[in-house]
Amino acid sequence: MSESSVVASAVNNPGGSAPMSLGARLRDRNPLPPGAFVVGLGLGLSGLATYVFFAITSRVLDPASYAAVGVLWSLLFAVGNGVMQPLEQEVARAVADRRARGIGAGPVIRKAVGIGAGFTLVLVLLGTLTHTWILDRLLDGRVELVVAFLVGLAAFAAGHLTRGTLSSHGRFGAYALFFATDGVARVVAAGVLGVAAVAAAGPYGLVLALAPFVGVVVALFGQRGLVVDGPPAAWGELTRALGWLLLGTVSLALVVQGGTIAVQVLAGSSDEAAAGVFLNGLQVARIPLFLFQAVLASLLPRLSQLAGAGDLDHFGRSLRRLVRTIVAIGAVATVVAVLAGPAVVSAVFGSAEVLGPFDMGLLAGTFVLIMVAICLDQALIALSGHRLMAIGWAGALAVLVGVIAATSGLEDVFLRVELGLLAAAVSALVWMAGSLAVRTSRHPEVVPVSLAEAAAETPLQD
């Protein structure tokens, strides 16, 4: 409604309803679903906190210890986030569905807690049984970091269950508060350890493992009416797409975080600092990806709404416009990474050894492609294409491993991993684009996606 029409309405209908205020008109025209801004803000603060945490840690620990902490973080994200994120998504969907029908969601949440506990127990048992062959090797034989990893799995389970419950109830302020608190807790604890001149890797690893518990406590403080009793919940309410979601999110998490882990394995004892050097470069190269995740929480509900209405023309235009924006911003970010990336890494992390301009540019360009692939996989999910999304990322992970293995003749470990990541990104992008073209031509029945579900799909939440 224009300003003149508001005035005309007030003059011609003095007894009618009051004209909308400017703030009300802006909210009415806002294309983002309610809560999207605060969710994006929370995710942004969490991402910033990650950079600050590693900036502090890199200045306190020796290179080998810092690399081990970096690998711990990558493992926690790839395994904890990858496995528990699908559970968050299913909780968000199932609880939101019950609430829309006026049915108490308590039984669903209690079943989800049981599933989360079961997942955690299985992962902890596997980690304990295989730590000699896997965790000890990846974490430089540091028992305290192995313990931190196992504790962190429970923390990630609690965090995802909390987030799924909060978002499904529309408590997006508390949802965002979880991210902010988790991030701030990491930074404050690392700062205290740094001031106290603690130079052992173990305490910093425990900070990463325990911070989500702090986020859970703060986010849930004062919350009421989350677990309302209702009819018994069947397992099918929570496991409808859980298998495909698990495959997709774990594969994506390993592609995004697997570079650091791969460098640790390939470099071995010959270069104990290599994983830390790679992690620092990776963190700076993918800054646009961290910023992009704030957009994802509002992208999926919008695409789902358009697909559900059968408006595939608008669906396609919205998607193409976003992809063009990502490519344009990504091109600039890649050039900046080549010209200034090494200097930025050195300034932020205080590291004497950094990746070179070519490595930084290659990583930045790769993550631009990954951003586009993620954008397309969100469109697939909006078209109920979870299976296609999962297959695409599983295939990309297989390509990553295959290229790293096939380039064993190269002495440059960083280049081997970078080429693997690039090939994985191209593979995922081609698959998602092809699958999306087929999916839109068939235009299947679409299940609308809420902001609660979309927030749980965000791939870089921690």
pLDDT (average), residues 288-295:
67
pLDDT of residue 450: 58
pLDDT of residue 235: 78
Q: Residue 445 CB: number of other CB atoms within 10 A?
A: 8
pLDDT band at 30 (very low <50, low <70, confident <90, very high): very low
pLDDT tens digit sequence for 375-391: 888 788 777 788 899 99
Q: Which two tokens stand for residue 147?
A: 């313990």
DSSP 55-71: HHHHHHS-HHHHHHHHH
pLDDT of residue 207: 96
pLDDT of residue 335: 94
Across all residues in the chain, what is the average pLDDT?
83
The pTM of this model reads 0.82
CB 258 within 8 A of CB 400: yes
pLDDT of residue 68: 93
pLDDT band at 6 (very low <50, low <70, confident <90, very high): very low
pLDDT (average), residues 137-143:
87
pLDDT tens digit sequence for 183-226: 999 999 999 999 999 999 999 999 999 999 999 999 999 888 88
Closest CA to 367 of 296, 458, 433, 284: 284
pLDDT of residue 337: 92
Measure the CA–CA gap between 175 and 179, rounded to whole angstroms.
Answer: 7
Q: What residue has token string 């679903």?
A: 33
pLDDT (average), residues 296-315:
64
pLDDT band at 85 (very low <50, low <70, confident <90, very high): confident
Q: Residue 26 CB: number of other CB atoms within 10 A?
A: 10
Which ranges of 30-142 does DSSP label H, i.e. alpha helix?
Answer: 36-60, 63-75, 82-100, 106-130, 135-138
pLDDT of residue 451: 56
pLDDT tens digit sequence for 336-380: 999 999 999 999 898 778 999 999 999 999 999 998 898 888 788
Task: Report the number of secondary-structure helices (H) and strands (E) in the chain.
Answer: 19, 0
Residue 432 to residues 250, 303, 377, 385, 457, Cα–Cα distance (Å): 17, 15, 6, 10, 16
pLDDT of residue 300: 56
> What percentage of the chain reaches a pLDDT higher than 70?
82
pLDDT band at 134 (very low <50, low <70, confident <90, very high): confident
Which pairs from 54-58 meet CB under 8 Å and 24+ separation? Answer: 54/279, 54/280, 54/283, 54/349, 55/348, 55/349, 55/350, 56/187, 56/190, 56/191, 56/194, 57/190, 57/194, 57/204, 58/276, 58/280, 58/349, 58/350, 58/351
pLDDT of residue 16: 47
CB 156 within 8 A of CB 76: yes
Residue 390 to residues 92, 112, 256, 394, Cα–Cα distance (Å): 19, 22, 15, 6
pLDDT tens digit sequence for 56-70: 999 999 999 999 999
Q: What residue has token string 């019950």?
A: 98
> What percentage of the chain reaches a pLDDT higher than 90?
45
Q: What angle do CA 344, 348, 354 make, to 5 degrees?
A: 60
pLDDT of residue 462: 52
Closest CA to 123 of 81, 95, 89: 81
**Torsion sign (Cα): 28, 34, 38, 39:** negative
pLDDT of residue 5: 44
pLDDT of residue 443: 60
Is a pLDDT exceeding 50 seen at residue 11? Answer: no
